[in-house]
């Protein structure tokens, strides 16, 4: 059974930083591209960042470029999202997702999803 478990969310003041982690089990992690998405109250889920299975290619939503960094550790089955210069509009539930893909999946091409971790940024 595939499980993706996010951690590291919490409350932070604007300008602060958080690092999210996602632990994967039940799949061959190194075969999967990984992504982070978020959903704010009353809004649709949106793409944040993605990383290729090898870690050599990444993609970011425009609104996080220069502030967030996605990385992975294939030896530990972990993917991270380092978030800096956080803004109140970054408040959302953050989800990690896994997609069996040679490159970077389209937003609708992820196979597995975690339960999410709440990030709250106060002004």
Q: What is the mean pLDDT of each run of 10 residues along the chain (123 residues)?
A: 97 98 97 98 96 97 94 98 97 98 91 98 96
Q: What is the pLDDT of residue 113?
A: 98
- E strands, 1-123, are 3-7, 10-13, 18-25, 32-39, 46-51, 58-60, 68-73, 78-83, 92-100, 112-113, 117-122
Q: Would you state the pLDDT for residue 65? A: 83
Place of tokens 């958080």: 18
């Amino acid at each position: 059974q595939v499980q993706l478990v996010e951690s590291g969310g919490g409350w932070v003041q604007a300008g602060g930083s958080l690092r999210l982690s996602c632990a994967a089990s039940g799949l061959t992690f190194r075969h999967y591209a990984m992504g982070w998405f978020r959903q704010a109250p009353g809004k649709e889920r949106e793409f944040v960042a993605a990383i290729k299975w090898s870690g050599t290619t990444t993609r970011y939503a425009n609104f996080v470029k220069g502030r967030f960094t996605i990385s992975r550790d294939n030896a530990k089955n972990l993917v991270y999202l380092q978030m800096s210069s956080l803004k109140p509009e970054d408040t959302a539930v953050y989800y990690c997702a896994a997609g069996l893909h040679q490159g970077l999946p389209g937003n609708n091409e992820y196979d597995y999803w975690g339960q999410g971790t709440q990030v709250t940024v106060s002004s």
